[in-house]
């Protein structure tokens, strides 16, 4: 008696869950299965003291969109993900660049949006709690209480200022929700980029965003950006991804619109996200573009776990 | 793999820029569609086992696991973290039994359930405890409830036992908001 209703339920579930994705879904599944069987790359000689006693501006790429930014005495951390998996089963290709236990303090944690690879509950639980957690407006319904000193939602162009630090939430072209189904009632809010300003230094963290000319020129007109942290992946299928993600070419265009001094690519190499031939594809494409248009010195491609002193 | 589901479904469904407005009508319409998705329930009486399809709604939920930015009281519409990060809810269910229980194919219940996070704020694993009162035909049975939730709070495996009537009930529940 129970067999027919059960199969009906399962078929309904399949339609409900996979209806939007079609055959693309099966390609993503195959890629995810392939990726799950690959061994995670470990980082030799990981930095054990990422917070520096005296530095003008340093950038440490932890992997994916997780970046530790230190400007003098202030420490900022973007989209912290230290765990081996996100979304329960998607494994890292390369381990996290630092151990969260090495962070004695973080002043501001910036969350760009609510997707698994950006708002990671386990990683936030591991961080020291004296800092402030900034989330985009609309993300509160996805943000459990982690015990940070303060959690604050920020609308696009809203500023948060204290102690000489100014953090501005800036628009992004992306999508929100967390579980797939919720995109229909969360879209239009719950995602942002941030511009951090402190002691004459300005860092732009784009979060996850697609390309729109006016988006970047507006940000570029408003801020004199020293470092732009721009996502360059996932790439494939190109038309599908380009609506909500920058590829290397678009990232370089965005960089031009921003008039920033230095671009550092992020959101690549860490997880197998799209249908690229390898996790290195985005980086290789960017390297070629940098070489072709002679952007050496303007674009700096970091290794996961590398710390770059931008200004002593 | 779920990450793959996420990446394949989401960008196809749309994109927009920060600040676009949300369509409240679409929100409730989609919520309603998801509520149509039934849970699976097996009720084990001393003399027989019955399979049922079960539909549930949450008239009220109090969440204590979220930041103060998120209101603690929720009515019908519950985002999964609001439930799995720590909450207590009153939910009502209706069951359809393809093979009858006595003279009926239907049952109703009211449940008071607490959700406690175990792993990843409850997103990976949570504990459910509570009480439930089921009405079969004209009789009521009260159950103690214990179970686990996983997969972002979408899947709950709950076991219920009524000591007075010696009825076991086990259910695989799908909770989408």
| ipTM (interface predicted TM) | 0.84
B171: phi then psi, degrees, rounded to nearest 5: -140, 140
Q: What is the pLDDT of residues A134-151, one digit of tens each?
A: 999 999 999 999 999 999
Average pLDDT of the segment spanning A237-247: 88
Distances (CA, A) of A296 to A93, A252, A292: 27, 12, 10
Residues of A in contact with B27 (CB under 8 A): 184-185
Closest by CA to A240, choosing from A3, A13, A27, A17, is A27
The structural domains of chain A, ordered by start, are 1-37 (no CATH), 42-311 (3.60.15.10)
Please name the residues in contact with B125: beta carbons below 8 A apart, sequence gap of 6 or more.
B118, B119, B148, B149, B150
What residue of B is the nearest CA neighbor of A34? B1
pTM over 0.80: yes
Of B1, B15, B19, the CB nearest to A244: B15
Beta strand residue intervals within A95-251, DSSP E: 108-110, 132-136, 150-154, 159-162, 165-170, 173-174, 193-198, 201-205, 227-231
Please tell me the distance from the alpha carbon of residue A217 to that of residue A226, in angstroms, as a whole number.
15
3-state helix, strand, coil in chain B (%, to 5): 20, 55, 25
Q: What is the pLDDT of residues A215-224, one digit of tens each?
A: 999 999 999 9
- Cβ contacts below 8 Å, chain A against chain B, sum to 203
User: Which residues in chain B land under pLDDT 50?
Assistant: 1-16, 19-20
Whether B92 contacts chain A with CB within 8 A: no
What residue of A is the nearest CA neighbor of B86? A144
Asked if residue A19 has pLDDT above 80, the reply is: no
Asked if residue A183 has pLDDT above 90, the reply is: no
Average pLDDT of the segment spanning A164-183: 91
The predicted structure's pLDDT at residue A9: 39
The predicted structure's pLDDT at residue B3: 42
A12: left (phi over 0), alpha (psi -120 to 50) or beta: alpha
The predicted structure's pLDDT at residue A25: 57
Domain ranges of chain B: 42-174
Of A32, A88, A243, the CB nearest to B11: A243
Pairs from A246-249 (Cβ < 8 Å, separation ≥ 24): A246/A206, A246/A209, A246/A210, A246/A211, A247/A282, A247/A285, A248/A282, A248/A285, A248/A286, A248/A289, A249/A285, A249/A289
The predicted structure's pLDDT at residue B28: 81
Of B10, B15, B124, the CB nearest to A88: B124
- Count each helix (H run) and each strand (E run) in chain A, helices first: 8, 16
Strands A66-71 and A74-78: antiparallel
Mean pLDDT of chain A: 89
Range of lowest pLDDT (A4-18, A97-111, A173-187, A248-262): A4-18
Asked if residue A166 has pLDDT above 90, the reply is: yes
Q: What is the pLDDT of residues A20-61, one digit of tens each?
A: 444 555 665 666 666 666 788 999 999 999 999 989 999 999
């Amino acid at each position: 008696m129970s067999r027919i209703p059960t199969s009906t339920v399962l078929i309904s579930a399949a339609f409900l869950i996979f209806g939007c994705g079609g055959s693309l879904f099966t390609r993503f599944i195959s890629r995810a299965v392939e990726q799950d069987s690959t061994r995670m790359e470990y980082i030799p000689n990981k930095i054990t003291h990422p917070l520096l006693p005296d530095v003008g501006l340093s950038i440490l790429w932890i992997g994916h969109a997780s970046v530790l930014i230190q400007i003098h005495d202030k420490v900022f951390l973007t989209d912290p993900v230290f765990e081996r998996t996100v979304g329960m089963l998607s494994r890292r290709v390369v381990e996290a660049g630092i151990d969260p236990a090495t962070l004695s303090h973080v002043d501001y944690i910036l969350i760009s949006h609510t997707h698994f690879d950006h708002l990671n509950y386990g990683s936030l639980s591991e961080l020291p709690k004296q800092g402030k957690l900034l989330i985009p407006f609309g993300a509160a319904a996805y943000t459990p209480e982690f015990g940070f000193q303060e959690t604050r939602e920020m609308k696009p162009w809203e500023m948060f200022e204290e102690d000489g630090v100014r953090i501005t939430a800036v628009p992004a072209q992306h999508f929100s929700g967390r579980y797939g189904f919720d995109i229909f009632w969360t879209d239009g809010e719950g995602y942002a980029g941030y511009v951090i300003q402190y002691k004459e230094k300005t860092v732009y963290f784009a979060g996850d965003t697609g390309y729109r000319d006016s988006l970047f020129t507006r940000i570029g007109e408003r801020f004199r950006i020293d470092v732009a942290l721009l996502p360059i992946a996932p790439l494939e299928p190109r038309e599908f991804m380009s609506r909500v993600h920058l590829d290397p070419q678009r990232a370089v265009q965005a960089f031009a619109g921003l008039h920033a001094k230095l671009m550092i690519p992020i959101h690549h190499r860490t997880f197998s996200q799209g249908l690229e031939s390898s996790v290195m594809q985005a980086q290789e494409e960017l390297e070629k573009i940098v070489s072709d248009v002679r952007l050496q010195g303007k674009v700096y491609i970091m290794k996961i776990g590398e710390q770059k002193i931008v200004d002593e | 793999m779920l990450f793959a589901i996420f990446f394949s479904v989401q960008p196809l469904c749309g994109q927009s820029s920060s600040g676009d407005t949300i369509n409240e009508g679409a929100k409730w319409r989609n919520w309603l569609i998801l509520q149509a998705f039934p849970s699976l329930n097996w009720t084990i009486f001393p003399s027989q086992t019955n399979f049922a399809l079960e539909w549930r709604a949450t008239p009220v939920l109090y969440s204590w696991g979220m930041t103060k930015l998120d209101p603690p009281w929720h009515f019908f519409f519950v985002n999964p973290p609001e439930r799995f990060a720590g909450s207590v809810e009153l939910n009502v269910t209706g069951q359809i039994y393809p093979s009858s229980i006595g003279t009926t194919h239907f049952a109703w219940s009211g449940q008071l359930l607490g959700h406690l996070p175990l792993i990843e704020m409850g997103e990976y694993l949570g504990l459910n405890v509570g009480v439930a009162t089921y009405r079969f035909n004209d009789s009521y049975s009260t159950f103690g409830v214990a179970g686990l939730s996983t997969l972002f709070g979408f899947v709950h495996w709950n076991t219920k036992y009524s000591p007075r009537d010696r009825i076991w009930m086990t259910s695989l529940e799908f909770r989408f908001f």
